[in-house]
Amino acid sequence: ATPTALMVGTGRGAQFGVLFKGPEVLEATHRIDTVVLDKTGTLTSGEMSVGEIVCAGGESEEDVLAVAAALESGSEHPIARAITDAGRDRVGDLPTADGFINMPGEGVTGRVRVPGPNAEAAVMVDVIVGRPDALAARGMALDGHLRGAFDDLESGGGTVVAVGWGGAARGVIAVTDTVKPTSADALRGLSRLGLHTVLLTGDNERAARSVADAVRIDDVIAGVLPAGKVDVITRLQGEGRVVAMVGDGVNDAPALAQADLGIAMGTGTDVAIEAADVTVVRGDLRLVGDAIRLGRRTLNTIK
Ligand code: ADP
Ligand code: MG
C-alpha cells in the first residue's frame, strides 16, 4: 500500500474509534491470524462487586472485609476497587494501612491495624490479600474449611481471593464480574474473519471457562502470572502465528509490547495504552474486528 493509502486508513479508523499509533501499524494489522484476549476489563466489564465472604473460626465477616479493604485501597485493580467499595459501604471508616506493595497477578501485601479485643489492643500486622498460593508461600495456607469454601465459590464461576494476617488465613472473599454485552458479538466477528481466538488470564480456570463458554473462544489459558503472559505470546509466535494481544491492565503491558499488534482498551490503564500499537475507544471489543478488517481492506487482501 502507498503511504497515502495507509494515512487514509488510519484516518478512517480514527473516525470509528480505532486509534492507530502510526500509519505503519496497519501493515501488522492485516497479517494477524490469532487474537489473544485478556479477561478482566477486556472481555468483562471489570466493574466487580463483592459477593459471599467466608471466614475462619473466630473472625467476623466485617473484620475480614475491613482489613482487606484497608489494604486494597492502595490498589487500582478491579478486585481491589470492589473490596474497598464494599468495605466502605458495610464497615464505614477503614482501619489504618501502610507499607502497601502490589504483587501483580498475585495480590497485595502491607500492614493494617487489625482489631483487638478493645481499641487499645489494635496492632499493625502484615496482611496479604490474593491468591491462596501467595498466602501459602508466606506461611498462611488455607485450612480445610477455607479451602473448601474457596473451591465452592470458584466453582460458581467467580473470582475468589484469600485474606491472611498474623500468620494465618482469615477468610475468603468472592468477587463477581459480568461479561460485557458486546463481547459475544465481538467474538462472532473475529471468528467470521477466520481468526483463532485465545483467552489469556491470571484468573482461575473455572472463572475463565465460564467467560469463554459465554462468548465462544477457541482456547483458554488460565492461571498465568503477568510474566507468563509474554511467554504465551512468544510461544504462539514461535508456532508461526501472527498475534494480536488485547488487554487493559498494567500486567498486560509486556504482552501488548511483545505481540505483533498490541491493542489496548481505551478504558484501560495508561501503561497498557502506552505499550499498545492501537487503542479502541470506550473499551468496545467489536472495534478489534473492525480494525483488522480495515487493515485487510487497506492492504488489499480483501475487497
Ligand atoms: P487478569 O489476567 O484476568 O486481568 P490479573 O492478572 O490482574 O487477572 O490477576 C490474577 C489474579 O491475581 C486474580 O484473579 C487474583 O487472584 C490475584 N490478584 C491480582 N491483583 C489482586 C488484588 N489487588 N487483590 C487481590 N488479588 C489480586
Ligand atoms: Mg485485565
Least confident of 62-76, 108-122, 268-282, 285-299: 108-122
Mean pLDDT on 62-77: 95
Given this model, what pLDDT does residue 104 score?
85
Q: How far apart are CA 97 and CA 156, in angstroms?
A: 31
Domain that holds residue 294: 3-45+179-298
* Same domain membership, residue 184 and residue 124: no
- Ligand 1 site residues (CB inside 6 A) read 38-40, 72, 75, 77, 79-80, 105-108, 129-131, 159, 161, 201-203, 226, 249, 251
Instruction: Among the bound ligands, name the one nearest to the CA of residue 128.
Output: 1
Task: Using the CB atoms, write b or e for 176-208: b if 16+ within 10 Å.
Answer: bbeebebbeebbebbeebebbbbbbbbbbebbb
In this predicted complex, what is the ipTM?
0.95
What confidence score (pLDDT) does residue 115 get?
Answer: 74
Same domain, yes or no, for 21 and 122? no
Last residue of a domain, one of 176, 210, 236: 176
303 pLDDT band (50/70/90 cuts)?
very low
Task: Compute, in angstroms, the gap from residue 160 CA to the centroid of ligand 1.
Answer: 10
- Dihedrals phi, psi of 169, to nearest 5 degrees: -70, 135
Query: Do 31 and 98 lie in a common domain?
Result: no
The three cell numbers locating residue 181: 454485552
Give the mean pLDDT of 281-294: 95
Does the model's pTM come out above 0.95?
Answer: no
How does the average pLDDT of the chain come out, rounded?
93
CATH number of the domain encompassing residue 272: 3.40.50.1000
Tell me the mean pLDDT in the region 243-269. 95
Pocket test for ligand 1, best of 161, 175, 199, 251 (most atoms within 8 A of CB): 161
CATH number at residue 79: 3.40.1110.10
What is the pLDDT confidence band of residue 2, given thresholds at 50, 70 and 90? confident
Please check whether residue 303 lies inside any domain of the structure: no
Residue 119 binned pLDDT confidence (cut-offs 50, 70, 90): low
The Cα–Cα gap between 178 and 265 comes to: 16
What secondary structure letter does DSSP report for 95?
P
Q: Ligand 2: distance of its center to the CA of 15 in Å?
A: 26
Among the three residues 142, 176, 210, which one is the final residue of a domain in this structure?
Answer: 176
Number of domains in the chain: 2
Q: Which band of pLDDT confidence, cut at 50, 70 and 90, is reported for residue 121?
A: confident
pLDDT at 118 over 70: no
19 domain-assigned: yes
By most ligand atoms within 8 Å of CB, the mutation choice from 131, 151, 252, 271 for ligand 1 is 131
